[in-house]
Chain A
Amino acid sequence: MNLPELIHEDRSGGVFRVRRSVFSSTEIAALEQKYIFQRCWLYIGHDSEIPSAGDFRRRTVAGQPLFWVRGGDGKVRVFYNSCTHWGANICRLDEGNAELFQCFYHAWTFNNHGDLVSVPDEPGYGSGFRKEAMGLVSPPRVDNYRGLYFVSFSPSVEDLVSYLGDAKDYIDLILDQSEEGWRVIPGTQKYSVRANWKMFSLNSLDNYHVRPLHSTFFKYTESLGAGDPPVSPPTEFPGPQGRALSLRNGHGVDVFPSVNRARPIAHWHPILGEDSKEEIRNRRAGLVEKFGEERAYLMCNTNRLMLIYPNFALHDIAGVSLRYFEPVAPDYMEVTVQTLAPRGESAELLNRRLENFLSFLGPGGFAHPDDIEAMESAQLGFRANGPEWIDASRGMQRDGTALDEIHVRAFWRQWHAHIMGDAKAERDHD
Chain B
Amino acid sequence: MTSEPGNSLDERITKLLLEREVEDFIIREAVVLDEWRLDEWLTLFTDDARYMIPSTDKPGGDPKETLGIINDDMARLRGRVERLKSRHAHREFPWSRTRRFISNVRVKEIAGEEILANASFLVYRIRSGQVDPLIGAYEYILRRVEGTLKIAFRKAVLDLEALRPHGTLSIIL
Interface residues of chain A, those whose CB is within 8 Å of chain B, are 94, 185-194, 213, 215-217, 219-220, 223-224, 332, 334, 338-339, 347, 350-351, 354-355, 357-359, 362-364, 366, 368-370, 372-374, 376, 380
22 contacts between A and B (CB under 8 A): A185-B66, A187-B54, A187-B55, A188-B57, A189-B69, A190-B164, A191-B168, A192-B163, A192-B167, A193-B167, A354-B66, A354-B71, A357-B67, A358-B68, A359-B76, A362-B69, A363-B170, A364-B69, A366-B80, A369-B90, A370-B91, A373-B168
A349 to chain B, nearest CB (A): 11
Chain B residues whose CB sits within 8 angstroms of the CB of A332 once the complex forms: 165
A138 to chain B, nearest CB (A): 25
Chain A residues whose CB sits within 8 angstroms of the CB of B56 once the complex forms: 188, 190
Assess A220 versus B79: contact at CB under 8 Å? Given A94-B57, A191-B168: yes
From B53, B58, B164, B165, A186 is in contact (CB under 8 Å) with: B58
5 nearest CB pairs, A to B = A187-B67, A190-B162, A369-B91, A191-B163, A364-B70
How many angstroms from the CA of A233 to the CA of B130 in the assembled complex?
48
Closest to A189 in B: B55
Contact flags B138-173 to A (C-beta < 8 A → 1, else 0)? 000000000000000000000001111111111000
Chain A residues whose CB sits within 8 angstroms of the CB of B162 once the complex forms: 190-192, 334
B interface residue count range (under 10 / 10 to 19 / 20 to 34 / 35 or more): 35 or more
How many angstroms from the CA of A380 to the CA of B56 in the assembled complex?
28
Assess A192 versus B67: contact at CB under 8 Å? Given A187-B58, A366-B83, A372-B91: no
From A186, A362, A368, A372, B65 is in contact (CB under 8 Å) with: A186
Interface residues of chain B, those whose CB is within 8 Å of chain A, are 53-58, 61, 63-71, 75-76, 79-80, 82-83, 86, 88-92, 128, 130, 161-170
How many angstroms from the CA of A16 to the CA of B150 in the assembled complex?
57
Say what secondary structure dominates the interface of chain B. loop
A258 to chain B, nearest CB (A): 20
How many angstroms from the CA of A219 to the CA of B63 in the assembled complex?
25
How many angstroms from the CA of A192 to the CA of B63 in the assembled complex?
22
Find out whether the CB atom of A191 lies under 8 angstroms from the CB atom of B54: no
Chain B residues whose CB sits within 8 angstroms of the CB of A359 once the complex forms: 76
Find out whether the CB atom of B64 lies under 8 angstroms from the CB atom of A188: no
